[in-house]
Amino acid sequence: MKKNLFRTTMAAALLLTVATAAAQHSAGGIDAAMLERIRRGYTGTPSQRAARNALASNSIAALAVNAENLAMCDTHFSDRVPTSGITNQKSSGRCWLFTGLNVLRARMIREHDLGEFEFSQNYCSFFDLLEKSNLFLQGILDTRELPLTDRKVEWLLKHPIGDGGQFTGVSNLIMKYGVVPKSAMPETFQSENTAQMARILSLKLREYALELRAAKPARAVARKEEMLTEIYRILVCCLGEPPAEFEWTRYDKSGRKVSTARYTPKSFYDAFIGEQLEQNYVMLMNDPSRPYNKVYEIEYDRHVYDGENWLYINLPIERLKAIAIASIKAQTALYFSCDVGKFLNRTAGTLDLANFDYGSLFGTAFPMDKKARIETFASGSSHAMTLIAVDLDEAGEPKKWMVENSWGPTVGYRGNLILTDEWFDEYMFRLVAERRFVPEEVLKLLDEEPVLLPPWDPMFAAEE
**pLDDT for 316-357, tens place per residue?**
999 999 999 999 999 999 999 999 999 999 999 999 999 999
Catalytic residue among 73, 95, 238, 338: 95
DSSP per-residue string spanning 360-394:
HHHT------HHHHHHTTS----EEEEEEEEEE-T
pLDDT of residue 464: 85
pLDDT at 417 over 70: yes
d(CA 280, CA 269): 15
Instruction: Residue 205: count other Cβ atoms within 10 Å of its Cβ.
Output: 20
| DSSP label at residue 183 | G
Q: With bands split at pLDDT 50, 70 and 90, how would you rate the model's confidence at 60?
A: very high
Average pLDDT score over the chain: 93
**Which of these ranges, 24-33, 37-46, 90-99, has the smallest mean pLDDT?**
24-33
Range in 11-25, 79-93, 212-226, 388-402 the model is least confident about: 11-25
Quickly state the pLDDT bin for 426 (edges 50, 70, 90).
very high
Q: Which of 327, 324, 319, 322 is nearest to 287 (CA)?
A: 319
- Concerning whether 95 is annotated as a catalytic residue, the answer is yes
Q: Is residue 334 part of a domain?
A: yes
Can 159 be counted among the known catalytic residues? no
124, part of any domain: yes
Q: In this structure, is residue 373 part of a structural domain?
A: yes
Query: Residue 376: CB partners within 8 Å, gap ≥ 6?
Result: 368
Lowest mean per-residue pLDDT among 13-22, 51-60, 377-386: 13-22
- Give a yes or no: residue 266 inside a domain: yes
Report the alpha-carbon distance of residue 222 to residue 277 in Å, rounded. 32
Q: What is the pLDDT of residue 72?
A: 85
DSSP 395: T
The residues, any chain, with a CB within 8 Å of residue 214's CB and separated by 6 or more, are none
Residues of the chain with pLDDT > 70: what percent? 94
What kind and span of H or E run contains 319?
helix 317-329
pLDDT tens per residue across span 233-277 = 999 999 999 999 999 999 999 999 999 999 999 999 999 999 999
Instruction: Note the pLDDT tens digit of each residue in 347-374.
Output: 999 999 999 999 999 999 999 999 999 9
Can you say whether the dihedral through the CA atoms of 300, 303, 307, 310 is positive or negative? negative
Percent above pLDDT 90 for the chain: 90
pLDDT for 78 equals 97
* Region 124-142 average pLDDT: 98
| Number of domains within the chain | 1
Give Cα 59 distance to the centre of its chain: 26
Choose the catalytic residue: 102, 134, 314, 405: 405
Asked whether residue 404 is domain-assigned, the answer is yes
3-state secondary structure of 99: helix
pLDDT at residue 459 in the model:
74
Among residues 122, 124, 338, 383, which one is catalytic? 383
Q: What is the CATH number of the domain that holds 181?
A: 3.90.70.10
Please state whether the predicted TM-score (pTM) of the whole model is above 0.85.
Answer: yes
Measured CA angle at 414 (ends 408, 417), to 5 deg: 85
pLDDT of residue 17: 52
pLDDT at position 2 over 50: no
What is the residue range of 425's domain? 79-460
Task: Tell me what pLDDT residue 463 has.
Answer: 82
Asked, for residue 54, whether it belongs to a domain, the answer is no
**Position 6 confidence tier, pLDDT thresholds 50, 70, 90:** very low
Widest distance between CA atoms in the chain: 107
429 domain-assigned: yes
In a domain? residue 1: no
338 is catalytic: no
Check residues 3 and 352 and name the one with the higher pLDDT: 352
Beta bridge partners of 432: 283, 335
